[in-house]
Chains A and B, each alone.
Chain A
Amino acid sequence: MTAIGRSSTDRTTNVVLLSDTRLEEDLNALLTFGEGPQRLISPFLHESIHRWCFQSPVGNALTLLQMRIHKAALLSLAEPDSRSRHVSTLAESINRYETALAFLRPLDEGMSLFGEFDLKTDNKTRSWSEPLELAATFFAKPLASPENPELFIGSWAQGVLQPMRLAQACLDRKADVLGLPLRCDGDAYLPGYMLVRRMWLKGLHRDWRLANETDLFLMYFRSFIYDDSGLVAVLLDGSLDEIRGAQAVANHIIGRLEQFTSFDPDDLARYDEAVAGENEPKVRSRAIASTLSLDEALAAHGEQMLRQALDEYGREEDDRLLAALQFHEMQVLNRRQLQYVGSWAVDVEVKDGRYRVSREGQLIREGLARHDAAPSEGNGYIDVLQWIPRRERVCAILHEGSVVATESLFVSRHKQNDPELLSIIGERDEARERLMVFDQAVDEVVADSWAEIAVKHIRDHLPDMLNQAYLPTILNDTPLDQVESTSALMAEEGFYPMLHYNRQLIEGLAALSIFCSSLAPLENAVAAFLGHRGLSLERTLDAADDLARRYGVAKVYREDGYLLSSI
């Protein structure tokens, strides 16, 4: 019987899992340059964008904050005499962490969906995003050498993304998003997507180039939020109490969104240059930061705090508990440079310095095992992953949770069992299991201390805080006195009740928007595309006009034969 999981990205470990990957069909395809199957492009982009966001100063600060939470919980259990101090750290850290996650979640999901439905680039910019490049190497037939992707990224966007988006599966996916709850707590897909598209529309007012350069928009928007060392400072600053600290995080994120709507087009141009530049990482990061309208003093403070926190991992710990924690945390931080794509349960045999991977008696892969791998036989995994900083595609073989072999592909010299890679991959499952035990320790300490009241206070208020912060922006064209009734109407099934669950209108709105984003926003072309699918542009536009008139949502702008959809 077929079992299907959901694609996911773990925020702490950055481990990405794609659902519906199939060993027999996909393993070799994912290990071959540009041969990945089309059905994985959409989830791959979605999860790659999550990973890309989390692999950032703010993402690192959030991981450090979660480690601080784990540490406070474990120390509170281990050192009863200092319990009060540790519980205090725990409460204020949890509240800042959970507030940040809740306020970033709509942005994360919105950016990932925007990536799936709208991302493209052409030759009007010099830079492109990491997820776009990564997806190119997985799914595009190379037009240039793998070592020099510059020559084919633009055409990849046309050649691979376009057919994927115009296929029924992607249209169905977008139509589905239009029927998801308009609530900023929970998964927040629809509000997140509407929010990011709203930010993009506002971006067009600042620089019209972004109409076609959605990749540049997404890069700049992501940097505005996730490369913001000011937010790092607010996240890692333990000086505020458990309530005011959480509010400071929420206010900071909302403030950044507001700032984004008035960015300077010259900064955007400098950003494009900075990302495309060949400078060494520190210089590049500084150049990027200078284009993000950051509060310089706060950002400098954030950078210093992050550096300090990371430097602590170089210090030798005498205490056994702290030393074990430090080892675990370093392992988690190191592994964040890997992006997992596929992972399959297999039989693994290690013998005479070689490994053999098989399933149901069928040989799948064999090769050289690491030099110190002990002879063994039993259950294991074969993983496909990307070592992001090295641009290496990796096949890893694991037996009983430990890596027994790696192969790095598409590097100038075929590498097997790279010691650095072996140490990063390490004990894949143990780090995750430890994290789950630490999560339980946190729950236990919270439930058994005054922190419960403080944490519950913020958890109870977060849904209202989120909806009040984001819905007026999402429903920007809705008259203020109708925001509440419109959001209530959309709270459970998004646009569906407004469209009376009419499949053709729902699909029409989805298809119109996707076609405009991926091919051309020309009214005649959109009409032909919809017509080919048994949909009517005229009826779709009438429905959109009706929603815009009655609720201030789903507006489709029309001018000189061009269309621009707000959703």
Chain B
Amino acid sequence: MGFERQADFGTPPVASDDLVTLTIDGREVTVPAGTSVMRAAAEIGAAIPKLCATDNMKSFGSCRLCLVEIDGARGTPASCTTPVMPGMAVHTQTPRLERLRKGVMELYISDHPLDCLTCSANNDCELQEQAAAVGLRDVRYGYSGDNHLGLTTDVSNPYFDFDPSKCIVCSRCVRACDEVQGTFALTIDGRGFASMVSAGQDKDNFLSSECVSCGACVQACPTATLQEKSVKAIGLPERAVVTTCAYCGVGCTFRAEMRGEQLVRMVPWKDGKANRGHSCVKGRFAYGYANHQDRILAPMIREAIDQPWREVSWDEAIGYAAGRLGAIKAEHGPAALGGITSSRCTNEETFLVQKLVRAAFGTNNVDTCARVCHSPTGYGLKTTFGTSAGTQDFDSVMDTDVMLVIGANPTDAHPVFASRMKRRLRQGAKLIVIDPRRIDLVRSPHVEAAHHLPLQPGTNVAVLTSLAHVIVTEGLADEAFIRERCDWDEYQDWAAFVSDERHSPEFLEPVTRVPAQDLRAAARLYATGGNGAIYYGLGVTEHSQGSSTVMAIANLAMVTGNIGRPGVGVNPLRGQNNVQGACDMGSFPHELPGYRHIHDAETRSLFEKDWGVTLDSEPGLRINNMLDAAVDGTFKAIYIQGEDILQSDPNTQHVSAGLSAMELVIVHDLFLNETANYAHVFLPGSTFLEKNGTFTNAERRIQPVRKVMDPANGYEDWQVTQLLANALGADWSYTHPSEIIDEIARLTPSFAGLSWAGLDKLGSVQWPVNEAHPEGSPVMHIEGFVRGKGKFVVTDYVPTDEKTGPRFPLLLTTGRILSHYNVGAQTRRTSNVAWHPEDLLEMHPADADNRGLKDGDWAKLNSRTGETTLRCRVTDRVAPGVVYTTFHHPATQANVVTTDYSDWATNCPEYKVTAVQVMPSNGPSDWQEEYTELSERSRRITGGAMEPAE
């Protein structure tokens, strides 16, 4: 694709079955009723001049440039605000319109700097284009009058500048912030000539304001007023490649706009079906890590982890790794080896890593980082519905009447989808939030939850069963749906269980700390408020009862009939970009791609024939079991692609002990991450900008990742895995990920219709994609559940073993923040640190006061597992008795204090409940200081300066 702006139809499309036919400049056009004259004209290529209109927000009618004449109508109406009418005859270019438009444009230009040649938007400026379009040749007013040309540029935001001298006050930025992002951070301050775009209050700039740097305003700006710093520094892009963001599970589609081999900017693609043209601060701006000085581009090896690294050739590194793997296998057997796939890598890379482990290592010891996030989703939804994935597409939210958000913080962790949610809430949908914290969705501009149930961490199952109790005992169950779609006998057992008084909100209130009347009201709203959709995140799964909670959610959806159509459903919000895909591709130790169990001889035989090997028929070890086995001495070597288990997995000391006990740790990553402190071989990885492949987002949408530049390290990650496999004796010969897709399709029924060419044609596709669903499946379980009848599961509340007590009286829960992603390996190496330079401990004022802690003080956070120190933020958004922190910074290592308690069914760690004590501190703990020293020592590279990663 060459560089050209995406077509802009001026106003949004209208969905209507009523069609209207009119003529524009003598040409007949038929459009849905309610369409604007401007859009109808654009549909036939008649470009009516415009400045304040753009097609991702409502028409505004302020710039007066899009005037048209209509036969029989008085005056010259604005085409953006005038809907089409049957038989209407529109004229877009007449002498009268020409005169009026020139006059309007003359006024704009009379207060605009004429520095086009040196302006960063030169040749990419709508004002410049429209001045040309209306034939402006001179400005009669001169420039000596009052103007705004001397105003100062706000350069506070790390990614874009705001130059008010170039502003034409079209309000596109303000409207983008309101309508697209839903933050309402911008406003037009003042009146008349004094009108100015303003971020926040008088003393605010863009950085200090409520602005979340999503980039919607920058994208909307028709001039250089809001402009990316990268464009200012580099110049305009000359080509664009459509690809998929590598941050969260929303999976936004972007145009990577390039000049030569240099990425100029990432611009959200309007045709992206997951993001619909929107973005967040991470995907839009935080790509600088790709060229960060910390990135390792040469392979390195060392005999022992107390030695410095030695840079070697790819041949030597691969040969060394293969040699040691072979020797360990020969001495200890294949079960001593294993691997971890990455939810940040492509489906094709993940598929190859599990193939490497199963076919070349000869073991099923393969696991993935989904183990520590959404593995309970797999278990729970498989049990109840028959499939683990979310039931809807993201567009479904626009048909939702009641959203129930539990254990998720979408505005921080899934911000682009949160903007869609907020848009629907502003239209009148109701919101129930179940979360220990008062997340932003509870109350933000023009959005207020009908009910916030601030439950005690660890009581999700009790709260959900109470909700079910109210629905069943108050006669709110959808019996017709249940009789038709679910197993009636199982329903009756379940209904009897939840109806027991011991599951009533009143009985459980001392446990959940949720006022019974609030819980009853929330249950009634969800059951009777129309289309009800449940959205959940890691606050559900990362508990000792994560799988039970997922099943309790599914029970609620079934008992209210909220399954199988747009607007309803159960929607797990996946943390990383390719969590769904990594699971689909056979990353779990008990199953092959397509979720087929390794016990199954027929399935094994299919893969054995295709791969030419014999597969082990027994399940392998999960990540935590691998670490246990390493400490026990039966697990000796691991290949870890794109995953930092030392920082992201619980009980850091145990992870450290497991890694230290291994004879060979191979880390394949962009950076010397924390896990690499324990590695013997480092294989440099490639970024998402440097590879081809696919990611699968939270709505099961498989989307192409396209290479926009060559890998700086020399190889795409799938190529590195292939080198290692071949050094171990495999005979792989993939030349492009499309060939790996073909293999996946050949071996996996639910992906049988998938191909690289098909993705190019459709843009993206939601699995299953096969003969029955050639273009994919946006909504699942429409006619019936995949498993047949929906299964109600009795979910008894089994409290966690992690208890508070005199020594550890507080409950710690962890989460994410908007500006950072996961362990922060990428975002900490961007200017996003401007918003979040360190992890903070949120604590209620009463708890802080009891301990003599003030906002900003150092606090020691101590659990039964370990201790760390971090600064305190005193806030009432957490309840008394609960403290909260993020896990983005290795200097804090929040997982030093988390335990190895885990979900009963899947071993997903219980990150969300840790009993802790917090006391004043005067600085980092001994462990932190020792770890910092270890990190620095471990990152020495022979012949080069020591380069600490942070």
Say if A and B assemble together: no
Residues of A within 8 A of B (CB): none
